[in-house]
Amino acid sequence: MQPPGPTAQASPPGDFTFVSSSGAEDLSGSIAPPDVKLNLGGDFTKESTATTFLRQRGYGWLLEVEENDPEDNKPLLEELDIDLKDIYYKIRCVLMPMPSLGFNRQVVRDNPDFWGPLAVVLFFSMISLYGQFRVVSWIITIWIFGSLTIFLLARVLSGEVSYGQVLGVIGYSLLPLIVVAPALLLLRPFEIVSTVIKLFGVFWAAYSAASLLVGEEFKSKKPLLIYPIFLLYIYFLSLYTGV
């Protein structure tokens, strides 16, 4: 009998085991990578130490980063509650008051705004200057207090309307007078034609405002509200023409 060949002897973990070349063919395995932890140190340690140092002495607020509030980054027009598309739509509703055109004209009354009517009144004031700057403040005063008069009269007649709605409708309805203003400049030498243009502009403005403010709730009392609206626009036109 042949003596048995050399065999591997057990060895503690972590030590090398020597085997013969004939027995190495039956061996297999893998070497696991060493578990090495890197200590980066440097700036990271210094930053952590500085943070801890400041926080321990009550200066941690210096390291806080203020988060941006989305509401603080709103556009200027949104901050001022100015909707240009809404204003443009309301201008079209006032300039084209015929129901057959399909505009939802009630939005001028039901969704009042301030900046649109103010822009219209200021523009009407600008074209009414004729070198008299006091006309601007006077037109704005008439707009505010004239609208207040119409509002009080509407409430007395049991109309469900707010002062903001009246202010917006009266302001927007100055647009027809702005449209006819250039024609009055050109046709001033022709008195009859100029008078017809004036009446057309006043009726246009008064109809646009009255059709929005004078609802079905007034019934037989409509003339009591339409008449002062008509007089108000005659006065506005007189401020422009100087008559």
Percent of the chain residues topping a pLDDT of 70 = 63
Res. 111: pLDDT tops 80:
yes
Res. 28: pLDDT tops 80:
no
pLDDT score at 160: 80
Res. 44: pLDDT tops 50:
no
Q: Please say whether the beta carbons of 159 and 215 come within 8 A.
A: yes
Q: Please say whether the beta carbons of 228 and 149 come within 8 A.
A: yes
Percent of the chain residues topping a pLDDT of 90 = 12
Q: Read off the pLDDT of each residue in 85-94 and give the average, rounded to a whole number.
A: 87
Mean of the per-residue pLDDT values for the chain? 74
More confident residue, 13 or 220: 220
pLDDT score at 149: 92
Q: Please say whether the beta carbons of 109 and 161 come within 8 A.
A: yes
* Amino acid, single-letter form, for residue 8: A
In total, the chain counts a number of residues equal to: 243
DSSP code for 6: P
pLDDT score at 203: 92
